Structure 1
Amino acid sequence: MFSDIRKIIAMAWPVLIGQLAIIAFTVIDTAMVGRFSALDLAALGLGSSIYVSVYIGLTGILTALQPITAQLYGARRYQEIGEEVRQSFWLVLGLMTLGCVILYFPGPLLDIARAPDALRERTEAYLRILSFGLPASLVFRVYSSITNAIGRPRLVMILQIAALLIKFPLNTLLIFGGLGIPALGGPGCALATIAINWVLALVGLTLLTRLTVFQPFAIFSHFCWPVWQRQAAQLKLGIPLGLSYLIEVTSYTFMALFIARFGTTTLAGHQITGNIGAVLYMTPLSIGVAVSTLVAQALGAQRYDTAHTLARHGIMLACGLASFYGVIVLVLRPWIIAAYTPNAQVVAAAMPLVALVVFYHVFDALQVSTAFVLRAYKVAVVPTVIYAVALWGVGLGGGYVLGFNLTGLTPAWLAGAPGFWVANLLSLAIAGIGLLLYWRSVSARYQQDQQSMSAPA
Structure 2
Amino acid sequence: MSRKDTGKILASMLKSTEYISCGAKIRLILAMAFPAMCAQISQILMHYIDASMVGQLGPLQSAAVGLVSSSIWLIGGICLAVVSGFAVQVAQNIGACKLIKARAATSMGFFCLITLSLLLSVVSAVSADRVPYILGGTEDIAPMASSYFLIYMCAFPVLVMNMYAASLLQATGNIRTPSLLNIGVCILDVIFNFIFIFPTRRFEILGCTLTLPGFHMGITGVAAGTALAEGVICVIMLWMLLVRNEQLHIRREKLYISPPVIFRAFRISAPICLDHLATTGAMVASVAIVSVLGTRAIAAHSFAITAESFCYMIGYGTAFAGTSVIGQCVGARRRDLARNFTVIITVIGVGMMTLAAVVMYVTAPVLIGLLTPDEEIRELGTAILRIEAFAEPLYGASILIAGCMRGAGDTMIPGLMNSGTMWLIRIPLSLLLVKTMGLQGVWVAMALELCIRGCLFLLRLRGDGWLKACDRKKSAV
Out of 143, 153, 158, which is 1:136 matched to?
158
Which region of structure 1 is more displaced relative to structure 2, 217-226 or 116-125?
217-226
Contact 2:132 2:142 in 1 (8 A): yes
2:279 alignment partner in structure 1? 248
Aligned-residue RMSD, C-alpha: 2.2
What are the Cα deviations for residues 342-379 of structure 1, in whole angstroms up to 9, with x where unaligned? 21011121121011120122222011101111111101
Out of 182, 187, 200, which is 1:165 matched to?
187
Q: Any residues of structure 2 matched to 1:83-102 within 5 Å, and which?
A: 83-102=104-123
1:329 alignment partner in structure 2? 360
Q: Any residues of structure 2 matched to 1:94-113 within 5 Å, and which?
A: 94-104=115-125, 105-106=127-128, 109-113=131-135
Cα distance, 1:3 vs. partner? 3.0
The alignment partner of 1:114 has SS state of: coil
1:151 matches 2:173:
yes
2:231 alignment partner in structure 1? 198
Unaligned runs of 5+ in 1: 451-457
Q: 1:444 to 1:337 in 2, by over 3 A?
A: closer
Cα distance, 1:445 vs. partner? 4.9
Unaligned runs of 5+ in 2: 1-21, 201-211, 473-477
Q: Any residues of structure 2 matched to 1:343-354 within 5 Å, and which?
A: 343-354=374-385
Which region of structure 1 is more displaced relative to structure 2, 239-248 or 83-92?
239-248
Cα distance, 1:120 vs. partner? 0.7
Q: Distance in 2 between matches of 1:281 and 1:363?
A: 11
Amino acid at match of 1:85: T
Contact 1:103 1:130 in 2 (8 A): no
2:88 alignment partner in structure 1? 67
Which region of structure 1 is more displaced relative to structure 2, 267-276 or 426-435?
426-435
The alignment partner of 1:64 has SS state of: helix
Contact 1:85 1:142 in 2 (8 A): no
1:264 matches 2:286:
no
The alignment partner of 1:378 has SS state of: coil
Q: 1:231 to 1:446 in 2, by over 3 A?
A: closer
Contact 1:289 1:372 in 2 (8 A): yes
Contact 1:308 1:443 in 2 (8 A): no
1:122 matches 2:144:
yes
Q: Distance in 2 between matches of 1:429 and 1:177?
A: 45
What are the Cα deviations for residues 410-446 of structure 1, in whole angstroms up to 9, with x where unaligned? 4xxxx22222211122222222222232233236855
Which region of structure 1 is more displaced relative to structure 2, 132-141 or 244-253?
244-253
Contact 2:353 2:396 in 1 (8 A): yes
Q: Any residues of structure 2 matched to 1:309-328 within 5 Å, and which?
A: 309-328=340-359
Q: Distance in 1 between matches of 2:46 and 2:424?
A: 31
Contact 2:85 2:269 in 1 (8 A): yes
1:361 matches 2:361:
no
Amino acid at match of 1:185: G
Out of 425, 429, 432, which is 2:447 matched to?
425
Q: Distance in 2 between matches of 1:447 and 1:234?
A: 15
Q: Distance in 2 between matches of 1:337 and 1:268?
A: 11
Out of 196, 199, 208, which is 1:174 matched to?
196
Out of 232, 237, 240, which is 2:268 matched to?
237
Contact 2:241 2:249 in 1 (8 A): no
Q: 1:428 to 1:108 in 2, by over 3 A?
A: farther
Amino acid at match of 1:5: I
Which region of structure 1 is more displaced relative to structure 2, 39-48 or 80-89?
39-48
Q: 1:332 to 1:221 in 2, by over 3 A?
A: same
2:7 alignment partner in structure 1? none
Cα distance, 1:69 vs. partner? 1.5
Q: Any residues of structure 2 matched to 1:360-379 within 5 Å, and which?
A: 360-379=391-410
1:42 matches 2:63:
yes
Cα distance, 1:111 vs. partner? 3.3
Q: Distance in 1 between matches of 2:334 and 2:469?
A: 9
Cα distance, 1:54 vs. partner? 1.0
2:220 alignment partner in structure 1? 187
Contact 1:92 1:138 in 2 (8 A): yes
Which region of structure 1 is more displaced relative to structure 2, 198-207 or 102-111?
102-111
2:328 alignment partner in structure 1? 297
Q: Distance in 2 between matches of 1:88 and 1:379?
A: 19
The alignment partner of 1:342 has SS state of: coil
Q: Distance in 2 between matches of 1:273 and 1:50?
A: 17
Q: Distance in 2 between matches of 1:97 and 1:223?
A: 25
Amino acid at match of 2:139: D
Cα distance, 1:305 vs. partner? 1.2
1:23 matches 2:44:
yes
Q: Distance in 2 between matches of 1:416 and 1:99?
A: 35
1:281 matches 2:312:
yes
Q: Distance in 2 between matches of 1:363 and 1:191?
A: 36
Q: Distance in 2 between matches of 1:223 and 1:164?
A: 37
Q: Distance in 1 between matches of 2:40 and 2:262?
A: 28
Amino acid at match of 1:133: A
The alignment partner of 2:410 has SS state of: coil
The alignment partner of 1:253 has SS state of: helix
What are the Cα deviations for residues 225-268 of structure 1, in whole angstroms up to 9, with x where unaligned? 53222111111111211222333333323222321221111111
1:209 matches 2:242:
yes
Q: Distance in 2 between matches of 1:444 and 1:397?
A: 29
Cα distance, 1:124 vs. partner? 0.5
Q: 1:91 to 1:438 in 2, by over 3 A?
A: same
Amino acid at match of 2:349: A
Contact 1:74 1:300 in 2 (8 A): yes
Count of residues paired in the alignment: 439
Contact 2:171 2:324 in 1 (8 A): yes
What are the Cα deviations for residues 277-302 of structure 1, in whole angstroms up to 9, with x where unaligned? 12211111111111222222122211
Which region of structure 1 is more displaced relative to structure 2, 155-164 or 145-154?
155-164
The alignment partner of 1:321 has SS state of: helix
Contact 2:365 2:379 in 1 (8 A): no
Contact 2:197 2:214 in 1 (8 A): no
Out of 54, 57, 62, which is 1:33 matched to?
54
